[in-house]
Structures are given as structure tokens and as C-alpha cells.
Amino acid sequence: MNKKKIEVYERLLSTISTDFDRRVLDDPDFASEMPIGAYVLFQVQYDGLSGPSAKDIRAYFEEFNAWLKDLVERQRDPDQSVYNAILVVHYNPSSPPQAWRHPERFPRDFQFQRAYAEV
């Protein structure tokens, strides 16, 4: 993966992390089941994708999601809990990076899932 793509992914991760932090601060019960010290694995999912660009958007975020999963796998301790925080975006942007320029313009929410069984 080239350096430019990694920089784009890092900016996207920063945006998602900020959104997630706001969600936790606004609703502390949201993350109450997650143990302290657990890794949060962000994954992006778009609802309602259609049209000619849908395949490209899916491919973009599948690669982004795989990059994040690999990052977590390399950094976490084997005994650390990992939770998926799936960012569900209810919008069909014209191109993947465009949505992150103005995140307040599209509805989205996080869903929590246990990523791995208890070790």
C-alpha cells in the first residue's frame, strides 16, 4: 500500500475516532459493555449503495476496513478484548473521500459487536 493511501486512511480514521468519542461522551451507556483497555476496531458500512459508483465505494471501504483490522491485529496483545464499532453510513456519496469532508451532512450511527471470543 502506498504512502499517500495510508495518509488518506489515517485522516479517515481520525475523523471516525472523533465521531466515536463524541458518541461515547454524549451517551456513556453506549460503550458500557466494553472493558477498559479493549481495542476498538472501526469498520465502515454503507447502507443503500446503488448506482455506478457503488462497486468502487464498496471496494474502497473494504480495503480501508482490512487495513484497520490488520493494524489492530499487529498492535493488540493476544489477551486484549477487541470490539467492532461499525460505523453505518446512511448516504450514497459521489466518491468515498467526499463524505468525510463534511461528516455533519449525512446520517450515521455506530453499532457495537464483539469481534473475538473471550480469551
Helical residues (DSSP H) of the chain, grouped into ranges: 3-26, 54-75
Indicate if the pLDDT at residue 93 is higher than 80.
no
CB 33 within 8 A of CB 76: no
User: Per-residue confidence at 87, pLDDT binned at 50, 70, 90?
Assistant: confident
- Give the model's pLDDT for residue 118: 41
**Residue 72, C-alpha cell as written in the block:** 489492530
Total-model pTM: 0.73
Question: Of 39-48, 68-77, 96-105, which gets the smallest average pLDDT?
Answer: 96-105
Indicate if the pLDDT at residue 16 is higher than 50.
yes
Domain boundaries, the chain: 3-114
